[in-house]
Structure 1
Amino acid sequence: MPLDSPLSRRTVLSSAAGLALALATPTPASAAGFGHTDDGTNYVVDTGAGLVFKVNHSNGDLSSFVYNGVEHQGYDGKNSHIESGLGASTVTVSTPATGVVLIKVVHGTLIHYYAARSGQNNIYLFTYKPDTSVTASRYIARLKPGIFPTTYPDTWSNSDTVIESADVFAKADGTTRSKHFSNLRTIDYDYFGFSTSAASVWVVRSSKEKDSGGPFIRQLLRHGNESGAGLYEHLYYAEGQTEAERFGLHGPYVLAFTDGAAPTSAVSGRDNTAWIDALGLTGWTGAGGRGRIVGNGLAGRDSSYAYVVGLSNSEAQYWAKVDAATGKYAVPGVLPGTYTLTVYKGELAVHTQDVTVTAGDATTLHTITIAGDPAADTAVWRIGDWNGTPAGFKNASLVTHAHPSDSRAAAWTAGPYVIGSSTASDWPAYQFKEINQGLRISFTLTEAQAAVDRTLRIGITSAKANGRPQITVNDTWTSEIPAAAAEPSTRTLTVGSYRGNNHTYTYVIPAGRLLPGTNTLRIDAASGSAGGGGYLSPSYGFDALDLL
């Protein structure tokens, strides 16, 4: 199953750089020691290259992974497993192909697989989830305490102070840590993990074909403190989720072990899936059952931004980066069906259309002309850029890896923003009802500009507790409270994510309320909900604001 986007080649959670992913790198038919045994409680698999792992044959837990003689698995007496453990399951082992050991775990309607390949220090995982009858939102690999550092934004100390929901912590200097602060969108990484000069444990992510949330969702990737650490692959991440859950086979996702380097070429699964085709996995579709999209170009792009093309329907999701020079793109390995194709400028959807993919064929799309970019509209003034993110606003560079209360954050309150002299960095990325209510903008209009009705647009990225903007002009006219946009019901802004269902609120300001000369606009966060108070009060993130 090929990955759905080109490799980012960025360094992810490690100083090691570079990753060449290729699933079917030829391997020896049988490395010395490769094979499986039964110790009475577990199926024991030896990869023949330094990794020995055990799977409990009563519940399917990954109960041990010993790499180069060192046990890395477990903390607090817990194993690695789907969710918090499946419980009693039917577990079998087989050798369905030369150089492959496959362990199959069946629990109700859910089927989970562990696969090992001769000579590779990798555990390949697949999870078939056809419905909601078995709770399975994640796989967690639990790592022993004391092996890996806890100096990252998504790790913390047991002595740190809890400041929100038992999962956001403040250190003595006021900086904040949380398992949510990995600061990576799915499109930004191919692998993540913990690394030392002696040994590293990585998760190489799946294609995310059956996941939800699209290319820009930020998911919990890892956590760590003195009590142990965890690495995650999410099958459905409910925090800040914008889509319904998808069902089917997730994977392969890989638990990879190295001597300190980044994962090597024999890790993922995108170039050649022949070895997986031979395993008979429930829900698996090989390359022959897939099609692809080939796009000839995008017209009307803003060269200042990266563009991404996404495909989604209720069954699957894919995406690909658009070539900055040519505007071309290709989305390989797509299950047959009809999809919504979305063009994103940054993270803002600026074009959608339907497209149908047929197994074994390429669907070629002629040049698409972008017509839905709000930045193309002539504005009297504009604050920020229409790109689906709060980039450029005050604290925007901090909020994806820190809590808004972090001591490194600039004050969320602000004096009047003066059009013509203030800059985007003076405008806060977020507005919280109980933190920075009453944001003000001062602007000047000519007689001609003030003589006609004007439309104000406020674009938000996400909202908490039905927060939405209400405006007051010159302290004489206040808008109605608009209907709340459909946004994730969970936390977003305080757990490292500004992303929701980008929505634009529009307000028609009557000409009689506008003045030639100086005008003042006040923005308040309105909601019928109290939220959780403080930074959990009704709130939203800004994308851009403009007056047309």
Structure 2
Amino acid sequence: MFVLPLLISGALCTLAVGVAGQAAEYQQCGGTGWTGPTTCTLGWTCTPVSPPYYYQCLPGSGSQATTTTTRQTTTTPNPPISSTPPVTGGSPPTLSTVGSGFRVDTKGGLIFDVNKSSGSITNLQYNGVQYQDSSKLSAINSGLGDSTVTAETIGAYVKITAVARNLPVTQYYIAKSGDPTIYMGTYITGEVDPGELRWLARMRKAVLPKGWHDPVSDIVGCTAFEGKDTFKCPNGQTRCKMYSSDRFIDDIVHGVTGSNVGVWMIMPGVAYETSSGGPFMRDINTQGGDQQELYWYMNSGHVRTEPWRFGLMGPYAMKFTTSTSPPSGDVDTSFFSELSVRGYVPNNQRGRVSGSATGVPSNFETVLHWYNNAAQYWTKASGGTYTSPLMKPGTYTMKMYRNEFLVAQSSVTVSVGTTVSKSIAATVDPTRDTIFRIGEFDGQPFELKNGDKITRMHPTDPRMSSWGGTYTVGQSSPRDFPMALGSDAGGVATVNFSLSSSQVKQLTLRIGTTLSFQNGRPTVRVNNAWSGADPGAPTLIDSRGLTRGAYRGYGNVYTWNIPASALRSGSNSLTIGAVGSKNLGGWLAGNYIVDAVELYVS
């Protein structure tokens, strides 16, 4: 093992200061739209890396000397960027120091640099092409700030550790020989200002033009119209980085792509175990602006429903490929057990849960979810049985969902080295004499009007169908009923239905919601003669939801008993609206998302 240390405040460092008007070592010196220096300091040549877009100062014969102040030098030779073919297996990646950074050559086509004072990534070269943006670095959040950074070779791996001085964060970068992947782990001991924790790679959009679910988060040429993160384009279409999100249970791989290249975030195995939000949480994946931004969000306040967890986030990985198709998310990170990564729990220190999961009809997903203050896990049942991921020991709340609608809850204790048998069954819905039901009580609005679009665009987007409207029982489909209603936008929904004389009796109206904003909740009125009582404001989630593509929060089911005196034989009408705060107006006033609506005999 050899270690390359850095004393941030003391005696070990090498500072290189470029001559004014010239680009320093490994900095950009040309390319399409470049207005900065076009010559390099002595010993460095402005070299085409990805012509005509990007030229960089690489070792060669530059045009002017460099003034260097050296306190003490403890560097290995600074090799040029390798153009040799990828190596598989054999010796570990090459670790060296270059200027103010540690350089890792993975021998798999990927070379990356980590700044010695901040732990940010400053260089991402894959197969000779520079992907790192020159104006903004890749880092946790917007950078860890002053950090103690060390690099070492341990057996077949290179490990770089960045310990933030003023944040409760330790970041790990790990490389394997022949593998164009940066493996990472993020260890935290407390909440991180400004209330979120994310990995953010800021890369050159010229060579990585396409984001995830492109173009939903591409904001080039568009103008912010709601906050600083929701944009309207000249054609009226809307964009937001939130629209690039997927449910955590499904989000194992996401990435950005260019010509015969892809850069991918991979969250394998139990990477989400210390994050917050559960299996249906969704968060930002990409945004394309001046840079192409690739994210993995570990914690945030974006429609957050539970507190932070602390410990190791991950392991996770950022992988480079020569394909625009996502790679497998089945990535082995068990080698972390050899590398003294804080918070890493190896498989032999974990246990499992398995058993039967019954009572959910086959046309729905059966989702199992375990959580406590320290960890969270999930899986999907198949054929009425399930096996959990390997879990940390402890006692967990256990939930089962019909798609995303809670149908059973229990608890289970997991021990090291054992598989606990635990069966769970859905609470059976009582048999009801149903007059009508619109949609399914499954925790999702997708079958309703605009439900197929809401995760990828703003409710004002011209591609949306008109909001509100009329649903006629026996004639309409769920697509005729709006998936959201607002107190200052979207109008109301009217349901026309018929009753026989024998059905004119007390009926129960049941409305399920999946998310509310600004105290939004339903109002109901029957035949313009009877109004249901206000159910009161739901639990507040202080985060925009509907307008940023979110549909899931705590969820509520509201019921009202409609007296027989409000009903009549023959035609009847039900009007459903919304009440809530109107401080902000439009779709930022009180609103809610509909799961399903049902009327049945009490």
- Same-fold call, TM > 0.5? yes
Q: What amino acid is the match of 1:138?
A: R
Is the Cα contact below 8 Å between 1:487 and 1:501 reproduced in 2? no
Task: Give 1:445 deviation, angstroms.
Answer: 1.9
Q: Which has the higher contact order (CA 8 A, sep 6+)?
A: 1
Q: What amino acid is the match of 1:180?
A: M
Task: Give 1:340 deviation, angstroms.
Answer: 1.2
Question: Deviations for 1:264-315, whole angstroms, at most 9, x for unmatched residues?
Answer: 56x7545x61x211111111111111101112x2332211111111111111
Alignment match, 2:389: 332
Is the Cα contact below 8 Å between 1:310 and 1:318 reproduced in 2? yes
Query: Is 2:273 the counterpart of 1:209?
Result: yes
For 2:474 and 2:326, the matched residues in 1 are separated by 50
For 1:474 and 1:390, the matched residues in 2 are separated by 26
Q: What amino acid is the match of 2:593?
A: G
Task: Give 1:247 deviation, angstroms.
Answer: 1.0
Match of 2:305 among 237, 242, 263: 242
Q: What amino acid is the match of 1:346?
A: N
SS of the residue corresponding to residue 333 of structure 1 reads coil
Match of 2:94 among 17, 35, 38: 35
Match of 1:535 among 576, 587, 591: 587
For 2:272 and 2:525, the matched residues in 1 are separated by 44
Q: What amino acid is the match of 2:158?
A: V
Task: Give 1:378 deviation, angstroms.
Answer: 4.1
Task: Give 1:58 deviation, angstroms.
Answer: 0.7
Task: Give 1:203 deviation, angstroms.
Answer: 0.9
For 1:281 and 1:258, the matched residues in 2 are separated by 26
Is the Cα contact below 8 Å between 1:310 and 1:319 reproduced in 2? yes
For 2:246 and 2:496, the matched residues in 1 are separated by 36
Alignment match, 1:507: 560
Task: Give 1:189 deviation, angstroms.
Answer: 2.9
Rg larger for: 2
Alignment match, 1:348: 405
Change (3 A) 1:257 1:455: same
Task: Give 1:518 deviation, angstroms.
Answer: 1.9
For 1:420 and 1:263, the matched residues in 2 are separated by 44
Alignment match, 1:429: 483
The 4+ residue runs of structure 1 with deviation greater than 3 A are: 133-136, 261-265, 267-270
Alignment match, 2:156: 99
SS of the residue corresponding to residue 425 of structure 1 reads helix
Task: Give 1:373 deviation, angstroms.
Answer: 4.6
Task: Give 1:501 deviation, angstroms.
Answer: 1.2
- The 5 A counterparts of 1:351-370 are 351-366=408-423, 368-370=424-426
Is the Cα contact below 8 Å between 2:348 and 2:417 reproduced in 1? yes
Match of 1:291 among 336, 339, 351: 351
SS of the residue corresponding to residue 494 of structure 1 reads helix
Alignment match, 2:176: 117
SS of the residue corresponding to residue 502 of structure 2 reads helix
Question: Deviations for 1:298-348, whole angstroms, at most 9, x for unmatched residues?
Answer: 33221111111111111111111111xx21111121111111111111111
Q: What amino acid is the match of 1:45?
A: V
Is the Cα contact below 8 Å between 2:395 and 2:411 reproduced in 1? yes
Query: Is 2:539 the counterpart of 1:486?
Result: yes
How well do the aligned residues superpose, as a CA RMSD in angstroms? 2.0
Q: What amino acid is the match of 1:259?
A: T
Question: Deviations for 1:431-473, whole angstroms, at most 9, x for unmatched residues?
Answer: 112223332112222233222x221110001011110001112
Query: Is 2:523 the counterpart of 1:470?
Result: yes
For 2:209 and 2:201, the matched residues in 1 are separated by 16
SS of the residue corresponding to residue 238 of structure 1 reads coil
Change (3 A) 1:29 1:372: farther
Q: What amino acid is the match of 2:588?
A: L
Is the Cα contact below 8 Å between 2:116 and 2:149 reproduced in 1? yes
Is the Cα contact below 8 Å between 1:311 and 1:319 reproduced in 2? yes
Q: What amino acid is the match of 2:346?
A: G
Alignment match, 1:393: 448
Task: Give 1:134 deviation, angstroms.
Answer: 5.5
SS of the residue corresponding to residue 523 of structure 1 reads strand
For 1:372 and 1:245, the matched residues in 2 are separated by 33
For 1:334 and 1:377, the matched residues in 2 are separated by 40
Alignment match, 2:75: none
Is the Cα contact below 8 Å between 1:154 and 1:222 reproduced in 2? no
Alignment match, 2:80: none
For 2:97 and 2:354, the matched residues in 1 are separated by 49
Question: Deviations for 1:117-140, whole angstroms, at most 9, x for unmatched residues?
Answer: 111110011000111266551110
Alignment match, 1:303: 362
Alignment match, 2:220: 158
For 1:196 and 1:133, the matched residues in 2 are separated by 33
Is the Cα contact below 8 Å between 2:397 and 2:411 reproduced in 1? yes
Match of 2:133 among 74, 86, 90: 74
**Between the two proteins, what is the percent identity of the paired residues?**
36
Is the Cα contact below 8 Å between 1:78 and 1:142 reproduced in 2? yes
Match of 1:319 among 378, 402, 423: 378
Task: Give 1:522 deviation, angstroms.
Answer: 1.4
Question: Deviations for 1:339-392, whole angstroms, at most 9, x for unmatched residues?
Answer: 1111111111111111111111101123x3211557x64422111111111121
Alignment match, 2:548: 495
Match of 1:231 among 294, 310, 313: 294
Is the Cα contact below 8 Å between 2:217 and 2:244 reproduced in 1? no
Is the Cα contact below 8 Å between 1:242 and 1:501 reproduced in 2? yes
Query: Is 2:248 the counterpart of 1:186?
Result: yes
Is the Cα contact below 8 Å between 1:318 and 1:334 reproduced in 2? yes
Q: What amino acid is the match of 1:238?
A: G
Change (3 A) 1:382 1:44: same
Task: Give 1:545 deviation, angstroms.
Answer: 0.5
Q: What amino acid is the match of 1:214?
A: G
Change (3 A) 1:373 1:232: farther
SS of the residue corresponding to residue 482 of structure 2 reads coil
Question: Deviations for 1:202-235, whole angstroms, at most 9, x for unmatched residues?
Answer: 111252111111111221001113x111111112
Is the Cα contact below 8 Å between 2:133 and 2:202 reproduced in 1? yes
Alignment match, 1:3: none
Match of 1:384 among 439, 451, 465: 439
How many residues end up aligned between the 2 structures?
507
Q: What amino acid is the match of 1:500?
A: G
Change (3 A) 1:535 1:314: same
Alignment match, 1:516: 569
Is the Cα contact below 8 Å between 2:485 and 2:578 reproduced in 1? yes
Q: What amino acid is the match of 1:371?
A: T
